[in-house]
Amino acid sequence: MAGNKTLTMIKPDAVKKNAIGGILKMINDAGFTIHAMKYTQLTKAQAELFYEVHKERPFYGELTEFMSSGPIVAAILEKDNAVEDFRKLIGATNPAEAAEGTIRKIYASSIGENAVHGSDSDENAKIEGDFHFSACERF
Ligand code: GDP
């Protein structure tokens, strides 16, 4: 059975565009509730750890530089079938290929600066949720 939690980050590009409120409204309107949330900034080392699976990719340096360049909003979201439904709501990695009405279509600027993160599996949702939140930060 699919899990009911996913981890999102509103990335530095979207925070700079003042899009936090718009993105959270889309998330709530799509039926997700907030299990945990914080406004924070990753260090370069933390971004490198979070994206360690992409270590060998040519964009790893650019990605971790970008993700530590300014504040983000991290949140654990709750809904049935959370991972898959949230990936549908955010759209394709490259906003040029994202479906109309998706968060990335509306708010992302490029494949790198693409407004939001969404976990890609239940297993990673748990790992990423534990990366950002302790037990007493969850409600
Ligand atoms: P996601 O699951 O849709 O976020 O996509 P991936 O797991 O493939 O990539 C993780 C993140 O790396 C993306 O959300 C982008 O921010 C970044 N990324 C992916 N491909 C590229 C690329 O070609 N160039 C750059 N600069 N960043 C990329």
DSSP the chain: ---SEEEEEE-HHHHHTT-HHHHHHHHHHTT-EEEEEEEE---HHHHHHHTGGGTTSTTHHHHHHHHTSS-EEEEEEE-TTHHHHHHHHH--SSGGGSPTTSHHHHH--SSSS-SEEE-SSHHHHHHHHHHH--GGG--
Tell me the CA–centroid distance for residue 10 and ligand 1, in Å: 14
Could you tell me the distance, in angstroms and rounded to a whole number, from the CA of residue 19 to the centre of ligand 1? 20
Catalytic residues: 117
Q: Which of 59, 60, 84 to mutate to test the pocket of ligand 1 (most atoms within 8 A of CB)?
A: 59
pLDDT per residue as tens digits for the range 33-88 = 999 999 999 999 999 999 999 999 999 999 999 999 999 999 999 999 999 999 99
Split at pLDDT 50, 70, 90, the class of 2 is confident
Tokens coding 116: 């939001």
pLDDT digits (tens, 9 = 90+) for 93-104: 999 999 999 999
Q: Which fold has domain 5-137?
A: Alpha-Beta Plaits (3.30.70)
Q: Give residue 1's pLDDT.
A: 73
